[in-house]
Chains A and B, each alone.
Chain A
Amino acid sequence: MTHALELRGVVKTYGRRRALNGLDLCVPAGSVFGLVGSNGAGKTTCMAASVGLLRIDAGTIDLLEAGPFDPLRHTGRVALLPQDSHLPPHATAGELLRFYGQLQGLAPAELAGAVQDVLEWTNLVDRRDSRVRTLSHGMARRLTIAQAFLGRPELVLLDEPLSGLDPREVVRIRGLIRERRGRQTIVISSHNLHEIEALCDRVAFIEAGRLVEQNTLAEIVRRDHTITYTLQASALTAAALQPLAPALRCELTPDGTALVVAFDGTGATHAEVNARVLRCLLDAGVGITEVRCGSKLESQYMQATGERPRQEKP
């Protein structure tokens, strides 16, 4: 299987508004894929349409190379963490997960183990017998994450998975999602670009229901041929960077707090370029607070969607 999810020219309208306007998307199997876009860009609609919760007006959706969502073909193979949806309040966490497991066809022998796995995974074992209505917001959110990974489905769609979690749980769940890379395909929709950068190996920018850019994260942030320096406020001028030209292309932000150095086509390594640039900056008496491979996803997103970032911030 080469791709886990493929959308071609998908159109979805709500009344007069086009939520998806010919969206093309290809999610390779085994990737952790980030969907990035502004509010109303179509991320949630894309996910809901993929699992058949929304009916599309045009285009095609191919799920796990078995056509559009069909319960007969996809039950147990696809899971969704929907945004702004509430779990039934009266069932306990354990009862609910068992019910979902039964629905997705888990055999009785493996059901208890699968439920235990996801409860441990989300740190909810001690709340197995608690009713959903008695769980805190964060715990209920973790339970929704647990149901999405129940039975190890091949494709998991997570809509804003880490919102509402405390920092400790964010770190924990992030680590667990990373562990699944290569074993399951995970699509994450989030406004938090730091989260996407930390989790995903491929990213798509969506705006106004259309794909703006889709590539590996390394390509998008030009990780292989760009180094970004965060500088202390200084009077660094373009002239001071002259020794680096023409091999290296330097771009200094107007306020002088960030320097982006591109070295594609030079054949130089990160270490070689970094040595040259650092020497140049130190000779110019500039303080350096951060050095990172590539640009920030945030600035690439802003550029790709037509807005220039005001500055790179650490």
Chain B
Amino acid sequence: MTPSIAGVAIMARHELADAVRSRRALVLLTLYLVGSVAATAIFATLLKHIEVEVSAAVGLESAKQVGTVSSTLWKSKPFREMVIHLTGDRALGETLLQVPPVGLFYGWLSLTFAPLLVLMTAAGRMAEDIGDGSARFILFRSSRLDWCLGTFLGQAGQLLLALLLSALGAWVTGWWRLAGAFDAVATMQAMLWLAFKAWFYALAALGLALGVSQFFSSPHLATVVGFIVLVGLSVLAGLARHFSGDGLRRLWDLALLLTPGGHRLGVWHNDAAHLLPTMAYLVALAFVYLFAGYAYLARRDL
């Protein structure tokens, strides 16, 4: 079956419009915004405590504004060598050190929590429409594939907006709390770029959420199963990273390819040689998960 571009576009637009009408979009944007603002505020507070402790330990007068010590530390050679050593990859280490501390924190935050939030907000979507029968008004007017792809695109649009808004929230909070050493332009650029990369990372989770959703008629059950599968995949990625090696242990690399977590490190890179394959893998993973659900949807009774 070939999707109809017009059908997919109509469905995606409806998904977005319905999210606005039902205030699902408002909840989603609020979750991302409040989450990023709160987490960045906590980060700034922690940073302040650490800077005070570090200043006291080396016998210096505490900086008046938070972030000054961190900025100085960020530029120091020993610290930079330490980061490069910890990442085990000089290119990646250099890339990370180009990102302002608060930007780096935002990147970690969005890569860690965006998939969970996606699961929470998207896993019930198609199951809800199947459960209450509203899908029946659609599916004699359109193909199941158009419905599946349109819902995915509509959700992906909301997700991008939510991540960009969360980056903005984190930037404002950082600017307010770390005024002493806040390079506004560089941080904004870094955060928007990281939000965009986190979107690709979260697309895999979105594919998973909607893939799972197509198996169920209860949004709650779909959400619970979605969480279980996501946690399972994260554990699998962790195990794969630990056990990966030579010989038969190379099979674990396959597991890394098939889990979003296996591509997480690649998202931090900025060079095309690393980043483009990572993004391609993540998009492919999103569609693998989505179409695994679609394979069932295409044959199920509605």
Contact = CB atoms under 8 A, between A and B. Distances in A.
A179 B129 CA distance: 33
Given A53-B301, A76-B141, A102-B10, A82 B133 contact: yes
A55 B14 contact: no
Contact of B143 (A51, A71, A91, A100): A71
Interface string B209-245: 0000000000000000000000000000000000000
Contact of B134 (A87, A102, A104): A87
Contact of A85 (B10, B18, B133, B146): B133
Contacts of B133: 82, 84-86
Contacts of A69: 140
Interface residues of B, number: 25
A79 B134 contact: no
A74 B137 CA distance: 14
B64 interface: no
Interface residues of A, number: 33
Given A53-B302, A54-B302, A71-B142, A87 B137 contact: yes
A22 B129 CA distance: 31
Interface in B117-175: 129, 132-134, 136-143, 146
B18 to A, nearest CB: 6
A75 B302 contact: no
Contacts of B300: 55
Contact of A55 (B137, B138, B141, B299): B299
B131 to A, nearest CB: 9
B7 interface: yes
Nearest to A45: B301
A88 B140 contact: no
A249 interface: no
B137 A90 contact: no
Nearest to B131: A86
A55 B302 CA distance: 9
B64 to A, nearest CB: 51
A104 B141 contact: yes
B136 A82 contact: yes
Contacts of A75: 140-142
Contact of A90 (B7, B21, B132, B141): B21
Q: Which of A84, A88, A95 has the most CB of B within 10 A?
A: A88
A214 interface: no
Given A91-B18, A95-B17, A80 B140 contact: yes
A52 B139 contact: yes
A103 B299 contact: no
A29 interface: no
Interface string A124-147: 000000010000000000001001
B138 A103 contact: yes
A99 B140 contact: no
13 contacts: A48-B302, A51-B140, A71-B146, A75-B142, A78-B140, A79-B140, A85-B132, A86-B134, A90-B21, A100-B138, A103-B7, A103-B10, A103-B141
Given A48-B302, A53-B301, A75-B142, 19 more contacts: A52-B140, A53-B302, A71-B143, A74-B140, A75-B141, A80-B136, A85-B133, A85-B134, A87-B134, A89-B22, A91-B18, A95-B17, A100-B137, A100-B141, A102-B10, A103-B11, A103-B142, A144-B137, A147-B137
Interface of A: 48, 51-55, 69, 71-72, 74-76, 78-80, 82, 84-91, 95, 99-100, 102-104, 131, 144, 147
